[in-house]
Amino acid sequence: MNTVGGEAERQPQTCRPGTVLHLDMDAYFASIEQACNPSLRGKPVVVCGETSAEQGWGRTIVTTASYEARRFGIKTGCTVPEARRRCPDVAIVCGDPEKYLDTSRRLHRILLRYTDRVEVYSIDECFMDLAGTRRDPVTAAAEIKKAVRTELGLTCSIGVGPNKLIAKLAGDLQKPDGLVTMSRAEALVLFEDLPVQEVWGVGERTAERLARVGIFTAAELGRAPLSMLTTMFGVWGYRLQAMGCGHCDDPVARHDEKRVVKSVGHSHTLPKDTANVTIIQAYLRLLAERVGERLRRYGKAGSTVSLYVRYADFTGAGRQHRVGEPMTSGLHIYRSAMCLLRQYMPLRKKVRSLGISISALTPASGGQGFLLERCGREERLMDVVDRINRRYGASTLKPGSVLTAERFGVKERCGLIGTYLLDPKG
């Protein structure tokens, strides 16, 4: 395993590592805000997702903390009041998704100079595969880091390895502004002590199930009997054991490949905990409408509805059921979610957040023929509502029942996007 940084970054190693790169932007949202606002540079900054200053920020969650803020123990997921307790001078910025997406597009254009094998993993992460480009991967990684710094004013960390699994592991080892190469043999050494939940692709629930049979590290996963893993996880057991041995045969997709949408969901944290069923129902209608609009935008319909309820004590539970016919209508999604909500009744605790998702997706039937012959008026109405909301802003037209949720605290984003919201001395 080799790390490259500082002066060494301009003198890349001559060894030829794997060809897969994993790029992860450093403290992405916060770093963009610092780059755009010189007064925030070098200061602790947190980016949050809602504008609730008048309510004391009690429900507002930190989505990204700058590295200056992280030195105070501020992490993604903590509340803004907790961040202010840890660092009274922390600057609070309401996030600007359009700004972050635009920066991501500019990042992608940099990466595409090297190969079309650029797979967008998230808004601030990408995989690349330089196989067949005749470029030295470490040299290319150093050039990319320099371009990101020069053209975007940001830093990134890059891992280089023989596959996506190892490249991502390498990229996480030296943040921020790191460049690490790793072979499979070097990865297997780290696997001896690497908690299994830190293996890319192993989720929390999978790690809990593995722990019950004495598997706590990545190496133990690789040595586990295949028969046991397949008994526990079915065909997924083959993949789990391979991952524990440092193997990953997932190819890096081309940038222009269409991503398969497997589910569409939306969730929201309530402004305050409540057991008021009328308010909860209004929130469900709001979520259902947003899920329905996204389904129609993607040209999808879904037949499996899932509802997740998180309580005030942060415990939660999920329910799902399959309907007879794929849906795109917010009203139909809402009715299905209400059937699931009844399984939670009577509520024994106050509710903190709600989420609805639709899966088992199929292409939506389209065309005027379908609209007129099958569902006529309702589908034409949805089409008109979608067009008006796209033109004049989300929720310009909405069901009257949603007003109950809005009165309880849901707000549109009021022009406070990407602005420095609090005087830290105030």
**Mind telling me the catalytic residues?**
125
Count of C-beta atoms within a 10 Å radius of residue 71: 12
DSSP 376-393: HHHHHHHHHHHHHHHHH-
Specify the length of the chain in residues: 426
- Enumerate residues 6+ apart whose C-beta is below 8 A from 391: none
Distance CA 196, CA 202 (A): 7
Query: What's the DSSP call for residue 403?
Result: H
- Enumerate residues 6+ apart whose C-beta is below 8 A from 264: 291, 294, 295, 298, 300, 302, 357, 358, 361
- Enumerate residues 6+ apart whose C-beta is below 8 A from 147: 110
For residue 319 the two structure tokens come to 């329910």
For residue 152 the two structure tokens come to 């975007």
Distance CA 366, CA 379 (A): 10
DSSP 100-153: HHHHHHHHHHHHTTT-S-EEEEETTEEEEE-TTTT--HHHHHHHHHHHIIIIIS
DSSP 7-39: GGGGS--SS---SEEEEEETTHHHHHHHHH-GG
Query: What's the DSSP call for residue 321?
Result: E
Q: In what order do the strands lie in the sheet with 20-25?
A: 2-3, 179-181, 156-161, 20-25, 125-129, 118-122
Q: Are 264 and 305 in contact (CB under 8 A)?
A: no
DSSP 262-299: --EEEEEEEEEEE--HHHHHHHHHHHHHHHHHHHHHHT
List Cα–Cα distances, 227 to 113, 206, 209, in angstroms: 45, 16, 15
Distance CA 95, CA 112 (A): 27
For residue 348 the two structure tokens come to 């024994």
List Cα–Cα distances, 77 to 73, 81, 82, 99, 268, in angstroms: 12, 12, 10, 21, 14
Can you say whether the dihedral through the CA atoms of 334, 378, 297, 97 is positive or negative?
A: negative
